[in-house]
Amino acid sequence: PLDQDAISTFFRSS
């Protein structure tokens, strides 16, 4: 299965 990154690696904490 392909890897799936967490969404927070794309969107920074604000």
Partner 1 sequence: MLEGKLEQASLFKKVVEAVRELVQDCNFDCTENGLALQAMDTSHVSLVSLLLTADGFSEYRCDRNLALGINLVSLTKILRCGNNEDILTLEAGDSADSLVVRFENTQQDRMSEYALKLMDIDQEHLGIPETEYAASITMPSTEFQRICRDMQSISESITIDCTKGGVKFTCEGDIGSGSVTLKPNSSADKPELCTKIDLSEPVSLTLSTKYLLNFCKATGLSQQVTLKLADENPILVEYPLSAGHLRFYLAPKLDE
Per-residue contact string for residues 1-14; x = within reach of partner 1 by CB under 8 A: xxxxxxxxxxxxxx
**What is the smallest separation between the CB atom of 5 and partner 1, expressed in angstroms?**
5
Label residue 12 left, alpha or beta by phi (over 0 means left) and psi (-120 to 50 means alpha).
Answer: beta
* Residues in binding contact with partner 1, number by CB under 8 A: 14
The rounded distance, in Å, linking the Cα atoms of 12 and 6 is 11
Q: How far is the CB of 9 from partner 1 (least distance, A)?
A: 7
Residue 3 one-letter amino acid: D
Interface residue list for partner 1 (CB under 8 A): 1-14
